[in-house]
Chain A
Amino acid sequence: MTLDADAVRRLAELAGLRVAAEDEAGLAEALERLVRFVERMPDGGGAQAPAMGVTGREDVPGECLGREAVLANAPETMGGLFRVPAVPAARQRGGDG
């Protein structure tokens, strides 16, 4: 397993996280070390995910925040909605999917 700058670019794209070009090589090295580190993980012998022994309450709809409270934290709003760049226009240019 070798992680290079290309692999970091691909992961960054998947994670929706811009990585500066000058940081790619350093990140690749750091991730490579981390992956080697976790490769030492013990084999759980196919044990099943632990049952935490917790029975939570039923998942029922409850109260949620009002529009005003939610939008109060939005960096940009328009007409009572979150504002984002025009997605359809971007799609026509092939820039967004």
Chain B
Amino acid sequence: MAEARPAGAAELGGRVRRGEVSARAVVEAALARTAAVEPALHAYVALDAADARRRAEAIDARVAAGEDPGPLAGVPVAVKDNLARAGRPLSCGSRMLEGYRSPFTATAVERLEAAGAVVVGATNLDEFAMGSSSETSVHGPTRNPWDPTRSPGGSSGGSAAAVASGGVPLALGSDTGGSVRQPAAFCGLAGLKPTWGRVSRWGLVAFASSLDAVGPLAARVEDLALALRLIAGPDGRDATAAAVPVDDYAAAVAGAAGLRGVRLGVVREVAGAGLTAAARRVWEESLRRCTALGAELVEVAVPTLPGGIFAYAVLAAAEASTNLARFDGVRYGLRRPGASFRELRSASRGAGFGPEVARRILLGTFALSAGRAERYVHRARAAAACLRAELLAALGRADLLVTPTVPSGPFPLGERLTDPLAMYRSDVFTVPANLAGLPGISVPAGLSQDGLPLGLQLIARPFDEATMFRVAGVLEEAAAFSAIPPFLAAEAKR
């Protein structure tokens, strides 16, 4: 009998480990499902079917030899195309990296593979992860499996669509201002931005280094928990990956029962943040559910929260303008001729970067230029510091903070592409965790009247992902979010 919801990563890994199903069969099913939905969704930049089959067969050989390939044995995963994989093209959704093949593999990917995961392909994204809709990619837009006329969110929209369409149970993304949590919310998934320093960024193409984080997306909280335990921890190749003990997050999810004794901080500023009617209804329902589960709700003030998007816009642009200076047409990527090095560099970059990336580089250059840094960059840093202090003070009164993940549901493709300010505004609840370096998770909270998913965000103290997972697991169960995209439901009935 067809199961409505595809099996999760932990479950599939367990079956392969126990020899109940072959990795090859699991990967074959993922490739078949992906091939069926890909023309409608365009979740991937590239599929690596042959490689995935070879890896799956190697996993099966290990199981047959009595070895344990790890908790993700034979589990198909998708990887955002800004995370490097040795010998593979890496585009970041940009023309700028034309012809580039990475000489190494990102630590987070390497660690998932070491646990038995099989990467099936690289997923689409906004160019250099700059956007919230997955529309600015040179490869064209990705579509939302819940409604293909709408955006899956971004910038990890390809990863979200790959999971939500039932192709893979787990994917990696990156989150600089909400780029994992917002697409997770828009696609009815769970998505995690870990504490800054929790997960190595080695092999993640840098966008804004003080904000960037690698994070997983999955249909189930337990799969995110498993993925975080596997990818977290120090890394000799990334000096910012902290040597902080990594907990058994899956145990935190499994061991949770109710929310009695849990104090949740309800951020006061949510009320004035312009939620759509559907977002408001789902937000209020979520709070009632938390109370019914025994949580104590306390109102907390984070006055700087609504202003976070402005500080974010400045800092992200300033850091992007310096990080992206490495693309010069000399060492890798696109090259256009020029009579001098300067002309060559300027022509190559002009031809390689799309309009959104160019706007951000110019804004960052403006904000960093002589006489302006004080007014823009220093002020943005002060606002971020103030926001962090406010969030930590609120987390002194509550175990976790709750907000909607996004003030609205998924928007139609094209709607915000010509309005970058509206795009920034949709990140109002997600950028604070990046600016403050705190962990945040989005869990499915409900559906709008037209059947589109909305998320609830939890924010925790630094490195306290365990508390976040404990509560996220309870909320996931209580929300009973068993909904799947309409076309998946139609297939399950057949």
Contact = CB atoms under 8 A, between A and B. Distances in A.
Given A37-B421, A41-B379, A57-B239, A17 B385 contact: no
B410 interface: no
A46 B104 CA distance: 42
Contact of A56 (B241, B313, B328): B241
Contact of A15 (B237, B365, B421, B437): B365
A73 B383 contact: no
Given A52-B437, A76-B335, A85-B338, A44 B344 contact: no
B54 to A, nearest CB: 23
Interface string B337-371: 01111111111011101000011011111110100
Contacts of B369: 11, 14
A75 B330 contact: yes
Contacts of B242: 54-56
A41 B317 CA distance: 14
A44 B437 contact: no
Contact of A17 (B310, B333, B362, B383): B362
B383 A27 contact: no
Interface string B385-410: 11111000000000000000000000
Which label, helix, strand, loop or mixed, suits the secondary structure of the B interface?
helix
A17 B358 contact: yes
B140 interface: no
B420 interface: yes
Given A12-B362, A15-B362, A73-B103, A57 B345 contact: no
A47 B103 contact: no
B382 A85 contact: no
A72 B103 CA distance: 9
Given A16-B325, A37-B424, A44 B341 contact: no
Contact of A41 (B321, B325, B383): B383
A50 B382 CA distance: 8
A73 B462 contact: no
A96 B100 contact: no
A12 B349 CA distance: 10
B437 to A, nearest CB: 4
B439 to A, nearest CB: 12
Interface residues of A, number: 57
Contacts of B424: 37
A97 B361 CA distance: 22
Nearest to A73: B332
B362 A57 contact: no
Given A20-B350, A37-B310, A14 B365 contact: yes
Contacts of A17: 346, 349-350, 353, 358, 361-362
Contacts of A30: 359, 420
A87 B383 contact: no
A62 interface: yes
B384 interface: yes
A53 interface: yes
B329 A75 contact: yes
Contacts of A18: 346-347, 349-351
Contacts of B101: 72-73
Contacts of A49: 381-382, 384-385
A44 B382 contact: yes
A55 B263 CA distance: 29
Interface string A6-50: 001001111111111000000100110111011111111111111
B474 interface: no
A44 B385 contact: yes
B34 to A, nearest CB: 29
B243 A87 contact: no
A80 interface: no
Given A31-B366, A73-B100, A75-B99, A50 B346 contact: no
B365 A11 contact: yes
A58 B387 CA distance: 29
Contacts of B236: 57, 62
B307 interface: yes
B183 interface: no
Given A54-B242, A62-B236, A73-B332, A43 B379 contact: yes
5 contacts: A11-B365, A16-B325, A44-B311, A56-B241, A84-B344
Interface of A: 3, 8, 11-20, 27, 30-31, 33-35, 37-50, 52-59, 62, 65, 69-70, 72-76, 82, 84-85, 87, 90, 95-97
Given A73-B101, A90-B339, 4 more contacts: A13-B346, A44-B381, A70-B331, A75-B334
Query: Which 9 pairs, one residue from A and one from B, show the smallest C-beta to C-beta distance?
Result: A44-B382, A18-B350, A54-B197, A42-B307, A75-B335, A47-B385, A41-B310, A90-B340, A73-B332
